[in-house]
Amino acid sequence: MIYNFSAGPAVLPKEVLQQAAAEMLDWHGSGMSVMEMSHRGTEFMSILANAQQDLRELLAVPSNYKILFMQGGAIAENAIVPLNLAGLGNRAQPATLDYICTGSWSVKSIKEAAKYGTVNVAADARTFSPDGKFSSIPAPSNWQLSSDAAYLHICTNETIDGVEYGFTPNVSMPIVADMSSHILSRVISVSDYGVIYGGAQKNIGPAGLTIVIVREDLLGYALPACPSAFNWKTVADNDSMFNTPPTYAIYIAGLVFQWIKRQGGVAALEKINVAKAALLYDYLDNSRLYENRIVKDCRSRMNVPFFLRDESLNAIFLSEAKARGLLQLKGHSSVGGMRASIYNAMPIEGVQALVAFMDEFERQYF
Ligand code: PMP
């Protein structure tokens, strides 16, 4: 049995891959692969409409929000967000853009946004964390928000550092959230946010598709320099067909949405995700060899970085894990150690297999 702990692109539900394989050469009797269809033909238009509708249902997206299927990934959105919102309410240019910095992905977002506005880092987790690193989410009471910010940007799950918001901030400006690595893993209230965005390649499908969920009253404020294909209003007005959308990635995402519905929806998956995370963190907290260094109530349910107290064992840990079918556990180079990403498609049996292996390894080598 293989269990893939990659941070992304990441494991997809086996049933989805099997269905895609079965439909690869001939989608529903059309005589074509989805990859070969015109994006404006009735077949693909139905795939897109169903994917959009299923995502709307799964996240209970209110009717005054648009769901956009775009390209460029979350890194492109780091520019697309200020390009679309810095002109909000005809603000003075450059507009003030508030950001909370909680990890490597926030750092990138902030750097990019600074090209389009005056960034105010309202709180940097390193100032407040006990170890001076990205190991906690700063309490909102410590945020120095601007009175005139166009929006507040947060990254609700930091994939590399392994911290996750367990709360939704209550602020006066629209919240823009990068949810790339935990979207659909927990119940959220979309109406608490102005914009939610994320790359698909963790909980949704293949790389190449970017999801944007945007409140309608935030459309129409793009800076004049915003490329048309990145202008949310243009994309919304053309129902994600202004340019050729990433058709095959949308098709797979649609299959994943159907799979989530069959599991009982986001609430049902959240329960399993809570159980999976508890199993792994409890094991880490009681081990002599391994440790997770994130403040407890800020720990990510999706991305679990951990260290071996004897780092000289790292290489053998990874090679023995691989031999046991436990793949892609090496931590991000900026953090070191190990990281187990346990997205929706990772069954609890995968986490049990990981813990069993880690325990055996500890007994043998430590
Ligand atoms: N934000 C977060 C939270 C991510 O996890 C990632 C990818 N790992 C990105 C942004 C960047 O995504 P992409 O490379 O698809 O642009």
Q: What residue ranges do the domains of the chain occupy?
A: 14-263, 265-365
**Closest residue by Cα to residue 91 from 65, 115, 118:** 118
Q: For residue 286, how far is its CA from the centre of ligand 1 (angstroms)?
A: 31
285 is catalytic: no
Q: Identify the residue whose C-alpha is closest to ligand 1 atom 10.
A: 74
The two tokens of residue 37 are 């269809």
Which residue out of 66, 98, 124, 202 is catalytically annotated?
202
| Edge-to-edge strands, sheet with 338-341 | 290-291, 303-308, 338-341
Q: What is the 3-state secondary structure (H, E, C) of the chain?
A: CCEECCCCCCCCCHHHHHHHHHCCCCCCCCCCCHHHCCCCCHHHHHHHHHHHHHHHHHCCCCCCEEEEEECCHHHHHHHHHHHHHCCHHHCCCCCEEEEEECCHHHHHHHHHHCCCCEEEEEEEHHHHCCCCCCCCCCCHHHCCCCCCCCCEEEECEECCCCEECCCCCCCCCCEEEECCCCCCCCCCCHHHCCEEEEECCCCCCCCCCEEEEEEHHHCCCCCCCCCHHHCHHHHHHCCCCCCCCCHHHHHHHHHHHHHHHHHCCHHHHHHHHHHHHHHHHHHHHCCCCEECCCCHHHECCCEEEEEECCHHHHHHHHHHHHHCCEECCECCCCCCCEEEECCCCCCHHHHHHHHHHHHHHHHHHC
Q: For residue 41, how far is its CA from the centre of ligand 1 (angstroms)?
A: 31
Whether residue 200 contacts residue 207, with contact meaning beta carbons closer than 8 Å, is answered with yes
pLDDT tens digits along 304-317: 999 999 999 999 99
Q: For residue 296, how far is its CA from the centre of ligand 1 (angstroms)?
A: 24
Coil, helix or strand at residue 123 = strand
- Whether 14-263 and 265-365 share one fold: the answer is no
Phi and psi at residue 350, to the nearest 5°: -65, -40
pLDDT tens digits along 320-337: 999 999 999 999 999 999
The stretch 75-101 carries a mean pLDDT of 93
Q: For residue 162, how far is its CA from the centre of ligand 1 (angstroms)?
A: 13
pLDDT at residue 94 greater than cutoff 90: no
Q: For residue 210, how far is its CA from the centre of ligand 1 (angstroms)?
A: 10
Ligand 1 atom nearest to CA at 155: 3
Question: Is the beta carbon of 124 within 6 A of some atom in ligand 1?
Answer: no
Split at pLDDT 50, 70, 90, the class of 298 is very high
105 is catalytic: yes
91 C-beta neighbours (distance < 10 Å), count: 17
Residues marked as binding for pyridoxal 5'-phosphate? 105, 159, 178, 201, 243-244
Question: Is the beta carbon of 198 within 6 A of some atom in ligand 1?
Answer: no
Question: Is the beta carbon of 178 within 6 A of some atom in ligand 1?
Answer: yes
The two tokens of residue 198 are 């994320």
Question: Is the beta carbon of 199 within 6 A of some atom in ligand 1?
Answer: yes
Q: Identify the residue whose C-alpha is closest to ligand 1 atom 2.
A: 180
Question: Is the beta carbon of 8 within 6 A of some atom in ligand 1?
Answer: yes
pLDDT at residue 90 greater than cutoff 80: no
Whether residue 54 contacts residue 254, with contact meaning beta carbons closer than 8 Å, is answered with yes
Q: For residue 104, how far is its CA from the centre of ligand 1 (angstroms)?
A: 10
9 preceded by a cis bond (ω within 30 of 0): yes
The two tokens of residue 344 are 């929706």
310 is catalytic: no
CATH of 265-365, one of 3.40.50.300, 3.30.420.40, 3.90.1150.10, 3.30.1330.10: 3.90.1150.10
pLDDT at residue 92 greater than cutoff 80: no
pLDDT score recorded for residue 93: 79
pLDDT tens digits along 195-210: 999 999 999 999 999 9
CA distance 78 to 106: 9
Ligand 1 atom nearest to CA at 199: 15
pLDDT tens digits along 256-292: 999 999 999 999 999 999 999 999 999 999 999 999 9
242 C-beta neighbours (distance < 10 Å), count: 18
81 C-beta neighbours (distance < 10 Å), count: 27
Question: Is the beta carbon of 105 within 6 A of some atom in ligand 1?
Answer: yes
CATH topology of domain 14-263: Aspartate Aminotransferase; domain 2 (3.40.640)
Which residue out of 54, 98, 124, 178 is catalytically annotated?
178
Question: Is the beta carbon of 303 within 6 A of some atom in ligand 1?
Answer: no
**Best probe residue, ligand 1, of 105, 154, 332 (max atoms within 8 Å of C-beta):** 105
Q: What is the mean pLDDT of the chain?
A: 97
Ligand 1 atom nearest to CA at 179: 3
Question: Is the beta carbon of 75 within 6 A of some atom in ligand 1?
Answer: yes
pLDDT tens digits along 120-150: 999 999 999 999 999 999 999 999 999 999 9
pLDDT score recorded for residue 191: 98
Q: How many helices (H) and strands (E) does the chain have?
A: 10, 14
CA distance 24 to 22: 6
